[in-house]
Amino acid sequence: MDQRKPPATEEGWYALHDCRSIDWDAWREAPQRVRDRALSEGIDFLDAYEAVEDADEGQTAVYTVMGHKADIMILHLRPTMGDLDAAERHFEQTEFAAFTEREFSYVSVTEASGYTEKSREYFEGEVDDDSGLAQYIQARLHPDVPDEEFVCFYPMSKRRQPDQNWYDTSFEERAAHIKRHGDIGRTYGGDVNQMIAGSIGFDDWEWGITLWSDDMRHIKELLTEMRFDPSTSQFADFGPFYVGRKFDPSELPAVLAGQRVPTDDEPVPDTPSEDAGHEHAPAGAGASHGHADEPNSSGAHAGGDTGSHGGAHPGSAGEGDHPHSEESADEDDHPNESGSSSGASGGRPDVSADFEEIDDATQRLGRLGLYEGDAYDAGDYALLFHSSADAEDIVDDVSELSESFDHYDRHVQTAVRADSGQTYVVSIWTAKDAAETAAGFLTDIDGIERTMGGPLGEATDDGDVEDGGDAAAGGSEAAESSQSIRETLEAEGVYAGQPHGEDVYALVVYSEADAGTLDDEVADLRSAFDRYDTHVKTTVYGDPDAGVTAVASLWDTEDAAETAGDYLTDLPGVVRRHGESDGFGTMGMFYTVKPEYRTDFVEKFDTVGDLLVEMDGHRETSLLFNHDDENDMFIASQWDSQEDAMAFFRSDEFSETVSWGRDVLADRPRHVFLA
C-alpha cells in the first residue's frame, strides 16, 4: 500500500480542559473560615489566570458542568506547555482545590491544517502575513475565548477499522469529505463558535472540540446534522461530552451556594426589597448592583471584553481531520465573526445573601465605637466590609454613597471606620433586605475584600432587645451568666465571643513542666492537630517570674475541643485544667500587641494588676507570653464569684483600658469566657 499523505499543520496555543467535581460533604462540614479562605484563593487564582498574569499571552475561562461527570471546568490556553503545567500545579496549591477531585482532563494544542489549494499556499509560505486568510488562521491558532453562555467540549478520533480507516483513504478523498463537512458548518456561522485542538501524542483521543453558543439547541442541531455526513458516520468516534455555562470568577461563591450562575441572568430588583412599595435603589450610587461576597472580586464580566470570539463557525478554513472540518478556503472568503455577546455578560447580579452572614455584628460594631442607642437601634441590620485601602483614600467615596443612601428612610448611617490599622466600611439599615441592595454598591468601593452582614439584636414588640442565643433559648444558669458578661463587655466595645458557644471553643491546661520540654511536646501535638480544619491554634504561654505555664488550645467546634482536651491533659507536668478549681474563672483573654507598644502594654497590665489586688473577690491574674511570639499574650484571671469579676468589668478603669488598647493592639482581642 502506498504511503498516505498527511495534511500540513500549524500549531498555536496549548490547551488544558480541567474538569473537577466538588466534594460537597467536605464543603458542608468545613468551618466557615475555611470555606471563606477556599473561595478567596479560588477567586484569586481564576482572576489572575483570566488576566493572564502568568504568561505573555493566553486565555482562561471557568464553567459550571451539568450532570454527573463534573461540577466545574477550567479551560486554560497558553503559549507553552510550561505555562500550562504551571497553571495546573498552581491551582493545586489553593485551598479551594482541596475541595475538588479531578474527574477528567484533556491536553491538546490549537491546530490548523490544510487540504484545499489556498490553505496549502499558506503552509507553503505563498500567502502574505497580512492577508485575510493568514490573519484568520492565526486567530484560529491564538483564539479569544468567546462570551457565549454555553460550552460543549468533547474529544474525538478518526476511525481506524478495516473497512472504515480514515488514514487509509487518499488525500483527495479526505479533502472532499472535509469540504462537504465544512459546508454544513458554515451554515451555523453566528450561532456556534468553535476551537479545534489536536492531541495526537498528547492524550487518548486525537482532537479536542470546544463549541460555544448562546443557545445549546444550535450546538445540538449542528452536531445532529453532521452525524449524517459520511465523514462523521463512517469515520468519527467520540469521547465523553461536557456541557456547562460560563461564569465570572467572582461568582464562585454563588456556584458553591447552589445559586443560578451567571447571577446576572436573574432580574435585579431596583429597590432595597423585592416587595413592592419599598424605596427605590439609591440614585447616583451607580447603575449596577453588587456581586457575590468574596475577597478581591474583580467585578469583571465573564470572559471580559475580548473584542473577537474564539473562532468562526464550524467548518472553516484552517481546521483539520475532525468533525468540524475546513471549508473551501478563499483568501477573501473566510467566515465572519458572529459579533454576538453572551447574555451572561450584562448587568450585575442580585446581591441577596451574597455576603457572609455573621451573628456577632453587635460586638464587631462595638469595637469600632458604634453602640446601640447611639449609632443604631435594636433590630437594625449592619453591613461590615473590610477594605485593604487606607481609610482616608475611600472616605470621600463612602461619604458620597452615604448621601445617596440618605434619601431612603431605612438608611441609618454609612461611614468609614479604622481599628488596629484595619479599614472598615460600616452601613446600617433598619431592614436586611435594604442592606442587601446597598451591599451591591458598597462592593464597588476600592479595596473591598471581606464582606459581612448581621442583625443588631432583635427588637420585640415593646422595643426591648430579645437575645436569640442559648441564654434565652436554653435558660441554663451558665449560659445566662456568660451572656450577661458579654452584654456588659459589648457596651464597652469588647468582643466576648458568641452566646454560650463562642466563635471558638477554648481549653487551657496548666503545667509545672520545664518550658523547653513542654514546647517540644506541644509542637508535636500542634502538628497533629493541624491536620484538622477545626483546629485554630494551640500555644504555650508562660510567665517566668510567676512560674506559671499554660497551654491554650482553640477549636471551631465543642466536640473537637473536648477531644483535644484528652491529649492536653497527657502533657508532662499538667496540674489542672481551667475551671477545675473553685471560684469563678475567666480565660481566653488573648491579645496581640503591636511590637512598638509591647512595653507599654506590660506596664499597663501592671497598673491594672495593682488595681485588681485591691478588689473584693479577686484571687489571681497573670499575664502570660507566647513562647514563640512575645507580642502574643494571654491573661488568666481567677475570682471568687462572677459578680466579683463583673464589678471590675463595669469599672471606669476597665473601660479606659479597653479604649487605650484599641491603639496598641495589632489584631482584635479575643475574649472567651468559661463561666
Question: Contact 213/192 with Cβ under 8 angstroms?
Answer: yes
Distance, in Å, from the CA atom of 460 to the CA atom of 467, rounded to the nearest integer, reads 10
Helical segments of 330-390, H only = 361-367
Is residue 433 classed as helix, strand or coil in its secondary structure? helix
Non-local (6+) Cβ contacts of 562 within 8 A are none
Sheet of 422-429: strands edge to edge? 356-357, 448-456, 380-387, 422-429, 411-419
In single-letter form, the type of residue at position 334 comes to: H
In single-letter form, the type of residue at position 554 comes to: L
Question: Contact 291/268 with Cβ under 8 angstroms?
Answer: no
Distance from the Cα of residue 478 to its chain's centroid: 37
Helical segments of 461-555, H only = 470-474, 477-491, 515-529
In single-letter form, the type of residue at position 338 comes to: S
Question: Contact 322/112 with Cβ under 8 angstroms?
Answer: no
Is residue 263 classed as helix, strand or coil in its secondary structure? helix
C-alpha cell at 413: 448611617
- Cα–Cα–Cα angle for 67, 72, 76, nearest 5°? 135
Sheet of 548-555: strands edge to edge? 574-577, 505-511, 548-555, 535-543, 618-626, 632-639, 584-592, 670-671
Question: Contact 519/511 with Cβ under 8 angstroms?
Answer: no
Q: Cis omega (within 30 of 0) on the bond before 323?
A: no
Distance, in Å, from the CA atom of 633 to the CA atom of 542, rounded to the nearest integer, reads 9
Which entry of 14, 49, 154, 242 is annotated as an active-site residue? 154
Distance, in Å, from the CA atom of 332 to the CA atom of 334, rounded to the nearest integer, reads 6
In our burial notation (b when 16+ CB lie closer than 10 A, e otherwise), range 75-106 reads bbbbbeeebbeebbeebeebbbbebbeebbeb
Distance, in Å, from the CA atom of 136 to the CA atom of 116, rounded to the nearest integer, reads 15
Question: Contact 97/39 with Cβ under 8 angstroms?
Answer: no
Catalytic annotation present for 63:
no
Task: Tell me the backbone φ, ψ of residue 297, rounded to 5 degrees.
Answer: -70, 140
Paired strand residues for 20: 72, 102
Instruction: Give CA separation, 422 vs 36, 388, 419, 448, 450, in Å.
Output: 19, 8, 5, 12, 12
Is residue 68 classed as helix, strand or coil in its secondary structure? coil
Distance from the Cα of residue 223 to its chain's centroid: 36
- End-to-end CA distance of the chain: give it in Å, rounded: 91
Residue 502, sorted as left (phi over 0), alpha (psi -120 to 50) or beta, turns out to be left
CA dihedral 231, 236, 238, 244 (to 10 degrees): -20
Question: Contact 670/496 with Cβ under 8 angstroms?
Answer: no
Distance from the Cα of residue 572 to its chain's centroid: 41
Residues labelled catalytic: 154
